[in-house]
Structure 1
Amino acid sequence: MLNIKSINQQLNNFHELVENKDLVKQIKQPKGLKTGVDLGTSSIVLVVLDESNRPLFGAYEYAKVVRDGIIVDYLNSVRIVRKLKEEAEAKLGVSLTTASGAIPPGTGENSEKVVANVLGDAGFDASIIIDEPTAAARFLNMTEGSVIDIGGGTTGISNFEKGQSVAIFDEPTGGYHMSLVVSGAFSVPIDEAELLKRNRAKEVEVFGAVRPVVEKMATIAARYVVASEQAPVVVVGGATNFKEFVHTFEKIMKRPVIRPQYPEFVTPIGIAMFDQE
């Protein structure tokens, strides 16, 4: 059963931890720590959990190191992950040795190796590399239904039945494609388009421009989601942070759609939960 109230409380707590590093406490007994690294198209997120999956540390840095789920700037990826690792270690007072990572489904074994190499060169032992919507589902504790992970370059869908993943799909439409549309609609460079997407004062105008992209994402999701009408469908990812996003999805999919608060943190926390298993 999806407990959205509990999920939102956890995400709110994690958001406070990310925004206020004074809340981070030194660890006396570091046994069982779990670390996850989410190499996203617009940002890199690092999460540290305790052995009971309670967040201890979270941080992110905006970056342009990934395109359509593929790492295109290896050296900067390593530099940023190492920087976030050192920040976490300094705040927590421990050494972080292992970390899990993730890739969009369908990007292949080579992508797994590249992400593992980034983690390795940043000072981690890569414990496991999983697909992003499955990571999101772990945090959400999904046993029935579907998770739609809107990444920077792709829309990933995982379907679950009786606690098991039964199908995983991925299509090349994501937040970066929204930025391309914004860039063209407002005649601004792609970097400025990324900032416009996050500008709440411009949200109505921006969403009006990207609505066709969101409708395409919803059409993709409707094609692959196989859950019954009673099973939940959850959208996650930073690209979903528009007020009209869920309503647009529901119109296309013709069924209720749930978006947690701070959906950009769902997948990173789920990634960390897989570490050291």
Structure 2
Amino acid sequence: MQTGKKQWSLDTTNQTLKEFAKLVNGDKAARKVRKNEPLKVGVDLGTSSIVLTVLDQHDQPLYGAFEYAKVVRDGIVVDYIGSIQILKRLKAQAENVLGQTLTSACGAIPPGTGENSANVVANVIEATEMEAKEIVDEPTAAAKFLRLTTGTVVDIGGGTTGISVFKQKRLVKVVDEPTGGSHMTLVLAGYHHIPADDAELMKRDPKKDSANFPIIRPVVEKMATITKNVMATQLAEPVIVVGGATNFKDFVKAFSHTLGRSALKPAFPQFVTPLGIAMYDK
């Protein structure tokens, strides 16, 4: 990471994200894995998907797998058995490609969701025959992957907006609010008078980005207002937005306008937190 007078940038992390995106759900690993090579694994149980990431001991991505799911609501696992079944499939897929058994993993929860939530995530991981090494909060995991020592990470998930403020590697503020991608879906469903499942598919369709965004823009503005209120007491820049709900073309422009300062978005923002989670697997 660059420090001092040199400006922090997303260049290195964007390159890693682009390389990782090519590996996700593919039939090849980034390189041949040595027999019994130590691997670092991250499990992100999200509201709309479950992501499994595999890194080497130098935090370089080796493989990733994900599956859309509805097993989590507002950061809380609501379908324990379904979570285990999906994670078992993703683990088997990764092991088949890597040629090696995954033995441990780290997980994450939205900030402030409590010890019970962390225990459930750990239990899901261990039910797939991996040791749960650590459960961290999602924006902090994102900051670790971004190698951000001072700044604000806004992790916009399916059910919540998590905000972590860092100053000189020290976490000084953590906030989590129940506004996320699922709220965008509900707004679309209400506007078009369609079921939420249909609205979710509509939201994910990049061809409908321009038509969808004006409808869900008030949700984005609310996310930015939440962040603005946090930064009023703990200001730290740069502001980085991550999470799959940020994938709209005009998201950053609208978010920055309400925030009153420029925000940055990495390439493939949905993979930032999962990669950061894996970095905690020692």
TM-score (normalised: structure 1): 0.96
- Out of 233, 254, 259, the residue aligned to residue 265 of structure 2 is 259
Aligned 8 A contact 1:24 1:91 in 2: no
Q: Does 1:221 align with 2:231?
A: no
Q: Which residue number in structure 1 is paired with residue 139 of structure 2?
A: 133
- 1:1-277 paired onto structure 2 within 5 Å: 1=2, 2-18=8-24, 20-225=26-231, 226-228=234-236, 231-276=237-282
Higher mean displacement: 101-110 or 202-211: 202-211
Report Cα offsets for 1:39-62 as digits up to 9, x if no partner: 000000000000000011101000
Cα distance between partner residues in 2 of 1:85 and 1:205: 37
The 3-state SS of whatever aligns with 2:136 is strand
Cα distance between partner residues in 1 of 2:191 and 2:202: 11
Q: Which residue number in structure 1 is paired with residue 5 of structure 2?
A: none
Aligned 8 A contact 1:35 1:47 in 2: yes
Change (3 A) 1:151 1:98: same
Whichever residue aligns with residue 261 of structure 2, its letter is R
TM-score (normalised: structure 2): 0.94
Number of aligned pairs? 274
Cα distance between partner residues in 1 of 2:77 and 2:16: 30
The 3-state SS of whatever aligns with 1:173 is coil
Residue ranges of structure 2 left out of the alignment (5+ in a row): 3-7
Q: CA RMSD in A?
A: 1.1
Aligned 8 A contact 1:100 1:128 in 2: yes
Higher mean displacement: 180-189 or 76-85: 180-189
Whichever residue aligns with residue 116 of structure 1, its letter is A
Residue ranges of structure 1 left out of the alignment (5+ in a row): none
Q: Identity rate of aligned residues, in percent?
A: 54
Aligned 8 A contact 2:111 2:174 in 1: yes
- Measure how far apart 1:198 and its partner are: 1.2
